[in-house]
Amino acid sequence: MSNPCRALLVAGAAVALALTAMPALATDIPPPDTVVTSPNVTHVLNIPKPAPIAATINTDIAFQGDYAYVGNYGGFSIYDIRNPKRAKPVSSVVCPGSQMDVTVYGDLLFAAVDSSRNNDSCASVGQSASIKESWEGVRIFDVSDKANPKYIKSVETNCGSHTLTLVPGKGRDRHKNVYVYVSSYLPAANFPDCLPPHDKISIIKVPLRDPAAAAVAATPVIFPDGGNETQPGLLIPTSGCHDITAYAEKDIAAGACMGDGVLFDISDRLNPRVTARTTDPNFAFWHSATFSNDARKVIFTDELGGGGAATCNEATGPNRGADAIYDISRGQFTFKSYFKIPRFQADSENCVAHNGSLIPVKGRDIMVQAWYMGGLSIWDFTDSAHPREIGYFERGPRADGSGGGIWSAYYYNGYIYGADFHEGLDVIKITDPLTNSAKGVRTDRLNVQTQESYNRH
Q: What is the DSSP letter of 200?
A: B
**What pLDDT shows up at residue 2?**
52
- Report residue 28's pLDDT band, with 50, 70 and 90 as the boundaries: confident
At 370-412, the pLDDT tens digits run: 999 999 999 999 999 999 999 999 999 999 999 999 999 999 9
The reported pLDDT for the residue numbered 24 is 52
Q: What is the DSSP letter of 230?
A: -
Among candidates 452, 388, 30, which has minimal Cα distance to 246? 452
Quote the CA–CA distance of 18 and 326 in Å, as a whole number: 26
Residue 81 burial class via C-beta count within 10 angstroms: exposed 0-12, middle 13-18, buried 19 and up: buried
On whether the CB atoms of residues 269 and 169 are closer than 8 A, the answer is yes
Closest by CA position to 68, among listed 129, 120, 146, 1: 146
- What average pLDDT score do residues 269-282 get? 98
Q: Residue 358 class from Cβ within 10 Å (0-12 exposed, 13-18 middle, 19+ buried)? A: buried
456 pLDDT exceeds 60? no
Question: Between these two residues, 25 and 155, which has the higher pLDDT value?
Answer: 155
Structural domains present in the chain: 13-446 (2.130.10.10)
- Percent of the chain surpassing pLDDT 70: 94
pLDDT at 170 over 80: yes
Instruction: Please say if the pLDDT value at position 5 is more than 70.
Output: no
Confidence bin at 60 (pLDDT 50/70/90): very high
376-380 vs 355-359, strand pairing mode: unpaired
Q: Which residues pair with 259 in a beta bridge?
A: none
Strand order in the sheet with 445-446: 88-94, 75-80, 67-72, 58-64, 445-446
Residue 309 has pLDDT above 50, yes or no: yes
CA distance 265 to 65: 30
Q: Is the pLDDT of residue 102 over 50?
A: yes
- Among the listed residues 341, 403, 252, the one whose alpha carbon sits nearest the alpha carbon of residue 28: 341
From first CA to last CA, the distance across the chain in angstroms is: 34
Give the pLDDT confidence score for residue 16 in this predicted structure.
Answer: 36
What amino acid is encoded at 184 in this protein?
Answer: S
In 3D, which of 242, 304, 252, 292 has the Cα closest to residue 276? 252
Q: Report the percent of the chain where pLDDT is more than 90.
A: 93
Is 450:246 a contact under the CB 8 Å cutoff? yes
The mean pLDDT of 164-172, rounded to a whole number, is 97
Mean pLDDT lowest for which of 26-40, 66-80, 239-253, 437-451?
Answer: 26-40
pLDDT in tens, 182-229: 999 999 999 999 999 999 999 999 999 999 999 999 999 999 999 999
Q: Which residues contact 440 (CB under 8 A, 6 or more apart)?
A: none
pLDDT at 17: 32
Asked if residue 336 lies in contact with residue 325, where contact means CB atoms within 8 angstroms, the answer is yes
Amino acid at 316: T
How sure is the predictor about 27, in pLDDT bands with cuts at 50, 70 and 90? low
CA distance 307 to 350: 6
Report d(CA 237, CA 283) in Å as an integer.
12
